[in-house]
Structure 1
């Protein structure tokens, strides 16, 4: 049985703050994340992380609003599907549909807030716990592999990597969620304009609320751009404060 001192040390290890990373690290990880988002091949691979966050957002809001979560599927083409049971209309369905496209950016914003307090290990371990919780609801082999690999990478970094490596990984991941949450909204509208995505989240919301789909796409974009602006500010705020 762990002693009181052991519990205190474990608490401090997880929740204690770490030193501020160099400003150059924060900037370079942001540039690297932007390069991944803008590069076709890199985006094609890394986009799976955005899909995990997207479907996780649907799943969380389905549970919060009282819907019964049936399962989550992640596909090799970086698409995904979250199935829930309940009323096909009403606030529960609206919030569940709303959550997907804004989830990566809002998760990134939450991550930026945690990093602003220098709690890098806490961010990594919360990520591991959330991925494990999501794993329970995955209903296809590719999805299981994706969650296990992603969670395994985060765990290895959180447990075995040096503080410098943890900092690089954490900042790059948060920047990627903030920046990567914006691109799918543009892709969504491009596909809608070409008639390739008639059952998108925006069009399902339009069918339920009678508000045009383009308005919902605009809402996704505004939320994600706002999260990017605020999250970016939180990531650089310690250095701005030092200059003032």
Structure 2
């Protein structure tokens, strides 16, 4: 079975499984990373971030101003691409047995977002709650529970990082002016919003393929290490 087929089946399976778990709260992690990507690139290009808002329906918005008109292009690209790369990072960390590092990175990004950018009530409440819960998991829970928590967040980020940009394709088809970042890019480049939506989705699928490969590689390694090692015997 090809890696691409495995990736598609993996995404479908994770979407089904995670929807059985009350996970709406945790899905905001992907939104936070998306908006954080917009904010960081804005600052890197000498722009100003007024605020980020996170909403209970897992949507978000970053309000910023740029001194350079062309800078809106990399800023608009940053959101979905950062979310896709972050999902890949989480599974890469898992593949190397670095789940604690992954959780620590989540806490740091959440704390930076809280202190520097997020200002609306729900966003602040989510970030404080998520930070406290993740710190408790890091400090007090047994490894099996922290691993479950980590994988839940990783799978949710992976799922959202792919299905988020994929939904842009539908929005672009229905109304190209309501396709979020794809619309911004279309306005400033002249390239249709649906082309940007497809590009975001293809990049997300490529990152998902790398993430699934890291996950399956870790699983195969664990199975190999669990097998007893043959010890040669000698008979006089």
Name stretches of at least 5 consecutive residues in structure 2 with no aligned partner: 1-9, 226-236
Matched, 1:135 2:137: no
Question: Per-residue deviation at 1:199?
Answer: 6.0
Distance 1:76 1:239 in 2: 34
Question: Per-residue deviation at 1:141?
Answer: 0.8
Matched, 1:105 2:80: no
Matched, 1:94 2:73: yes
Question: Per-residue deviation at 1:44?
Answer: 5.1
Task: Report the more deviating stretch, 41-50 or 199-208.
Answer: 41-50
Q: Deviations over 1:161-202 (max 9, x none)?
A: 111111111122112211221111222222332228536110
Q: Is the Cα–Cα contact under 8 Å of residues 37 and 183 in structure 1 kept in the other structure?
A: no
Match of residue 151 from structure 2: 171
Give the count of matched residue pairs: 214
Q: Is the Cα–Cα contact under 8 Å of residues 87 and 93 in structure 1 kept in the other structure?
A: no
Matches within 5 A, 1:52-201: 52-87=32-67, 89-90=69-70, 92-136=71-115, 137-195=117-175, 198=178, 200-201=180-181
Question: Per-residue deviation at 1:76?
Answer: 2.5
Task: Report the more deviating stretch, 182-191 or 217-226.
Answer: 182-191
Q: What TM-score, normalized to structure 2?
A: 0.80
Instruction: Please provide the CA RMSD for this pair.
Output: 2.6
Task: Report the more deviating stretch, 156-165 or 99-108.
Answer: 99-108
Q: Is the Cα–Cα contact under 8 Å of residues 75 and 142 in structure 1 kept in the other structure?
A: yes
Change (3 A) 1:197 1:108: same
Q: Deviations over 1:66-105 (max 9, x none)?
A: 2222111112332211112213621x22111111123222
Match of residue 16 from structure 2: 35
Change (3 A) 1:190 1:32: closer
Distance 2:170 2:106 in 1: 31
SS of match in other structure, 1:182: helix
Distance 1:199 1:64 in 2: 25
